[in-house]
Amino acid sequence: MLRTIFHLILSAILITMLYFFGKTKQYYSLYCQHNIVVKNIDAHSADSIITQSDTLITPINYLGTIDFRQIDSEVRKKKFIHYLLPAIVITRERLMDDLHHVEFIEDKINHKKTIYTDDSLFLDSMITKYKTDSILELKKRIYPHPVSLALTQAVLESGWGTSSIARKGNNLFGIMSFSPDESRLKMQFNDSEDDIYLRTYNSIIESVESYYLLISRVSSYKKFRDKRWEGAPSSKLVYFLDSYHETKQYAELANSIIKNNDLARYDIAPINPLYRKFISLYTFLRKN
């Protein structure tokens, strides 16, 4: 009787060990994405904006609306940069995480290794989102351009956050709407008799995500994406954004803003590691 109980216990231990071995093997064969813990801050005045460094960025999502028109012009510039900077860095790091995940799957495909369900579903979602079946083209579309360029375009399109659509709809990049199914506002422009609609967003981060996605999918930005993939800096990339704005001096204006505000110093600024959250083995085992 005791021998039977002993064998049952031994078998149970062996089965448990095999289970954990199989799960941990799968765990180490999966791409472990990391999440960014974002702090929500109600912002209704310039005093709510936290000053960021150019070495470590605190991930903040500002809620509410700040009227940048009421802020002194020189102070406004600094406040607007620190207001928008976290959203851009958060979005870029999420995009880089997606890119690394695609590269991880690509490597497994090239080496004919097992592609687990989570990875397969992720790849399918990226192909649908970015509208391409090519892995190389997908990587080019996901790969984000520098922080300084995103900041500069927001400055140009929103007038340092003072535009009507920026104040009413968190649209800092002048993104237009062509579908009544989208959240949008009808805008009146003096030089146009046509009805023009601009997108509205629930948050600054949502606005930044939409901006990166727009440039990643529209065909007229293909040359821009190729140069971006090659690692061109903002000062060069601005010359491939002709279709973004009709102003002939757009590139010169953008470069002037980048230089005068020393925006390039934010291009490699990472998220503070204290706000990163990785999937643990314990969490993985419970989930699976």
DSSP string, 7-41: HHHHHHHHHHHHHHHHHHHHHHHS---EEE-PEEE
Least confident of 4-8, 82-86, 124-128: 4-8
Whether 24 has a pLDDT exceeding 60, the answer reads no
How far is Cα 216 from Cα 38, in angstroms, rounded to an integer? 24
Mean pLDDT, rounded, for 37-66? 93
| Cβ-based neighbour number of residue 146 at 10 Å | 23
- The tally of domains found in the chain comes to 1
* Out of 92-96, 189-193, 275-279, least confident range: 189-193
**Cα separations (Å) of 52 from 4, 56, 77, 148, 266?**
66, 8, 13, 14, 10
Structure confidence at residue 281 (pLDDT):
46
Mean pLDDT of the chain: 88
Which tokens sit at 217? 């999918």
Rounded Cα–Cα distance for residues 53 and 46 (Å): 17
In the predicted model, what is the mean pLDDT of residues 29-55?
A: 89
So what's the pLDDT on residue 180?
86
Percent of the chain whose predicted confidence (pLDDT) is above 90: 71
In the prediction, which pLDDT does 285 show? Answer: 44
The mean pLDDT value for 164-184 works out to 92
Closest by CA position to 184, among listed 198, 170, 163: 198
**pLDDT given for residue 288 in this prediction:** 46
Q: Where are the alpha helices (DSSP H) in 30-116?
A: 73-110
d(CA 140, CA 257): 26
pLDDT band, residue 15 (cuts 50/70/90): low
Answer whether residue 75 is part of any domain: yes
Helix (H, G, I), strand (E, B) or coil at 66: coil
Domain around 277: 31-218+259-287
Q: Helices (H), strands (E): how many in the chain?
A: 11, 6
Tell me the C-alpha distance between 234 and 267, whole Å: 9
The per-residue pLDDT for 279 is 60
Query: What distance separates the 2 farthest-apart alpha carbons in the chain?
Result: 94
Q: Is the pLDDT of residue 82 over 80?
A: yes
Confidence of residue 103 (pLDDT cuts 50, 70, 90): very high
pLDDT band of 32, cuts 50, 70, 90: confident
Residue 186 covered by a domain: yes
Per cent of the chain over pLDDT 70 is: 84
Average pLDDT over every residue of 39-65: 93
Burial of 66 (0-12, 13-18, 19+ CB in 10 A): buried
Top-confidence residue, 43 or 144: 144
What per-residue confidence (pLDDT) applies to 254?
96
Whether 210 has a pLDDT exceeding 70, the answer reads yes
| Cα 167 off chain centre by | 21
Is 24 a member of any domain?
Answer: no
Q: Does the pLDDT value for residue 132 go beyond 90?
A: yes
Cα separation, 83 vs 46, in Å, equals 9
Global pTM? 0.86
Residue 153 lies in a domain: yes
Residue 237 vs residue 186, higher pLDDT? 237
Burial 122-140 (b: 16+ CB within 10 A, else e): bbeebbeebebeebebbbb
Place of tokens 């064998």: 7
* Residue 20 pLDDT > 90: no
| 198 phi, psi to nearest 5 deg | -120, 145
